[in-house]
Amino acid sequence: MNKMNDQAIRGLFVTGTDTGVGKTVVTAALTAMLRAEGLNAGVWKPIQSGAPLGSGLTDAERLLHSTGINERPESVAPFTFEAPLTPLLAAKQAGVTLTLKIIIDAGRSLAKRYDALIIEGAGGVAVPLTNEAMVVDLISELRIPALIVARSGLGTINHTVMTASFLRHRGIPIVGVLLNDGELPEPNDDPSIATNAQLIEQFSGLKVLGRLPRLHAEATSETLIHTGRNTIDFAPIREAIAVQLMGG
Ligand SMILES: Nc1ncnc2c1ncn2[C@@H]1O[C@H](COP(=O)(O)OP(=O)(O)OP(=O)(O)O)[C@@H](O)[C@H]1O
Ligand SMILES: [Mg+2]
Residue 1: the pLDDT is: 41
Neighbouring residues of the ion ligand 2, judged by CB less than 5 Å: 23-24, 59
Residue 248: the pLDDT is: 53
The domain 2-40+97-245 is classified under which CATH number: 3.40.50.300, 1.10.3720.10, 2.40.37.10, 1.10.2020.10?
3.40.50.300
Residue 5: the pLDDT is: 43
Question: Along the chain (248 residues), what's the average pLDDT of each consecutive run of 10 residues?
Answer: 62 98 98 98 98 96 97 98 96 96 97 98 97 98 98 97 98 98 83 96 98 90 97 98 88
Judging by beta carbons within 10 Å of its beta carbon (0-12, 13-18, 19+), is residue 95 exposed, middle or buried?
Answer: exposed
Closest listed ligand to the CA of 16: 1
CA-closest residue to ligand 1 atom 31:
217
CA-closest residue to ligand 1 atom 5:
182
User: Rounded to two decimals, what is the model's pTM?
Assistant: 0.96
182 Cα distance to chain centroid: 15
Judging by beta carbons within 10 Å of its beta carbon (0-12, 13-18, 19+), is residue 61 exposed, middle or buried?
Answer: buried
CA distances 115 to 36, 42, 51, Å, are 14, 8, 29
**Distance (Å, rounded) from C-alpha 191 to C-alpha 188?**
7
The number of the ligand 1 atom at minimal distance from the alpha carbon of 181 is 1
Residue 187: the pLDDT is: 72
